[in-house]
Amino acid sequence: MDYQDNNNVSGRPEGANQGLPPQILTVMQKNKKSGWGVFWGILLGLSVLANFIFFIVIIGLFAVVVTGHTGVMTEKVLIEGPRSDKIAVIRVEGIIDSYTAQDVIEQIQYAKSDVHVRAIILSVNSPGGTISASDQIHNEIIKFRNEEYKPVVAFMQSLAASGGYYISVTADEIVAEPTTITGSIGVIMGYLVLEDMLQGKLGIEPIIIKSGQKKDWPSSFHYPSEEELMYFQEKVIDPAFERFKNIVTDGRIKLTVEDVNRLADGSIFSAEEALSENLIDEIGYFDDAVNKARQLAGLDDAQVVEYVRPFSLSGLLGSEAEGSIFKLDKNTIYELSTPQVMYLWSIH
């Protein structure tokens, strides 16, 4: 049989395939060909992947050479218009923490450096966050208005409560979507007490050596006394609360001190309620916020842009880990175990 000389496809000794039916030999040939096909397919795939990674790295290095560093902001055009008159949209989304504050401050400073920016829209979708971060954003907006003499419009999306409202009242005008939840003027602080779990269940009793009675207040290792609770109410909560109310009173000229004291009980408000209480100026959508910014800036038309960071090689390769939820170091442990005083609408 002629086919026997060319069909040693199984790697078996010469002549081992003799006597096998033609159908079996055909299947064996196909399996051999398909095996090589898989091998070359994998090799080709790895080659394509390697070239893609190489291309990304080259682009990253080019960006570093051209700009001098990674993470440089560029503009994304949201609404076309004359580049000589621009409105910059700066977004505040999620929990307001130090990373959020840093990013927002950099964007505001970027807008200040552009002489063509005539106004800012602060787009807020946040339940609030830390007192310090909220206040840093507030302060940067105040500086922008006082130094540049350019209007700021706050645009509230689905949620702009507590710290989200704190930064919004800094604007000249506030536009809120019809479904917005806002308000929650107040301060909250909380921490865990582990005394029962450590001592009662695990038999662990912490030893604290301190220089004074109040040095470890508040502590997760024991339940707070009335004196401790009053101490933090007077030292932390009340001052932060008074500052919040003063910020609202200063920012909302339609509200009196008595109005703010009445509204500042931590309540949240719908857009309709907020409008009736003069917590906001208008109910509308993004286009309405743009029109308001144009009006305040005295513009007939403007290009609306937002700032983006086009490329970060270190971020792509995962080296920027400071904001990662998986990062667990001594600073993270400290933050988790330390009471946080927040301008935050929190649902427990």
Query: Known catalytic residues?
Result: 162, 215
Alpha helices in the chain (DSSP H): 22-67, 98-113, 131-148, 163-168, 195, 226-232, 238-251, 257-263, 271-276, 286-297, 313-316, 330-337
What does the block give as tokens for 42?
Answer: 């994998």
Give the separation between CA 43 and CA 53, rounded to whole angstroms.
Answer: 16
d(CA 83, CA 75): 11
What are the structure tokens assigned to 270, written together? 């719908």
268: number of Cβ within 10 Å: 17
Task: Tell me the one-letter amino acid at 2.
Answer: D
In this structure, what DSSP letter does residue 3 have? G
Tell me the two tokens of residue 337: 């175990």
| CA 348/CA 340 separation, integer angstroms | 15
What are 150's two structure tokens?
Answer: 């350019």
Helices (H) and strands (E) in the chain, counts: 12, 12
Tokens of 220: 């997760």
90 Cα distance to chain centroid: 12
